[in-house]
A and B are shown apart, each in its own frame.
Chain A
């Protein structure tokens, strides 16, 4: 049973420069428990697709058309229906953790609010208990103490986990994650993605993921849709799309990702075998050759 079904879905934006077709006739299906990713560069329309589907674009700005079914609700015609789903059966993880939360309320207060909105009829005491449980489920240590803190007291990675917890507060059937790790450091990103995967395995939630990062897409998805200028250029199972891209644009995207392996993935860039440049083949005589000793003595010093 598909929880999201888009067919010939379009979104037009009314801007000062005229009417812009930000999303042009896209088709997408998300099954329960699976992950579908829309990948694209800036301006491709990937975020607009998700935001419009969730009813987050103002009537005065965007007009959507086509077929869009969100848990059985017609997302094009029934704005009220979609509003009722948001925060309850559909959770959203916004892009920038630093600005997505209210700075003047504790994390616990915001969690409790999400819980009570998502599970109507929950008492205050129950909400408080669930809030602590949620923090625990997103692997935040000592949740009972953390619940009283304010957002500015958390690091980016921790805040993103809090946002995931809030999104999960209502035990949603769908999670929409808009660039969930783009604002995070690479090591933190890894653990947040791992968390999302674990949560999906445990709760069976379906995930619609928006990202520009091919590595993230390949890691997380069952199906990938490559988006460019409002259209889906190529769609397919994640490993097939990455190993055997059919479209020129997809190939170009893959080729442009700088590779960690020996083959120079950057088109034309000078790799280790380039002529005319001294490369660090035989171990260049730099100041420190091996792991620097100072690293170990780090603990007491920095922040």
Chain B
């Protein structure tokens, strides 16, 4: 319940704010005239109001509201809520041209590498061949030879990667892991003489006037 002074002060504020009804204003002004204390209070409030209205307005600094809000004590959130906000809360992204160009550069680089790898032609044989191999034993009788190697389609005709081992009675042998299919080969004796396997499964023209040996592997 408001007392008389409080009611009078409330009506004075309404008059000064221009919110009082005409009758209310007339009655109050009559009471102010009659009561010196009330008159003094009314005069003081009127001066203060005039002073505020005539004083120069200070501009509100930018981000004033945001800064005030930031300084307000934060409501403590549960860990789950904080994690949710971290992942899904909407964010305003500040960016500059250099960062944007760098990001575009990274995307273009990744994209071109993906396209390059995907479009890189692959030898068809290499794609479809099974990884399974069969062990094929080749032997060659050459007692006088100092070195015997085998070169063929399976080793790109390299003369130094598949060397036969000399066993007793001048027999040279090697066990070759070969993939399914036909393989052509020749023995290379002492690094210079190309000799077909005398007992190969079959032979085929090598296109240069010699005969390659043929071995067929099936699993």
- Verify that A and B bind, or say they do not: no
Which B residues are closer than 8 A to A by beta carbons? none
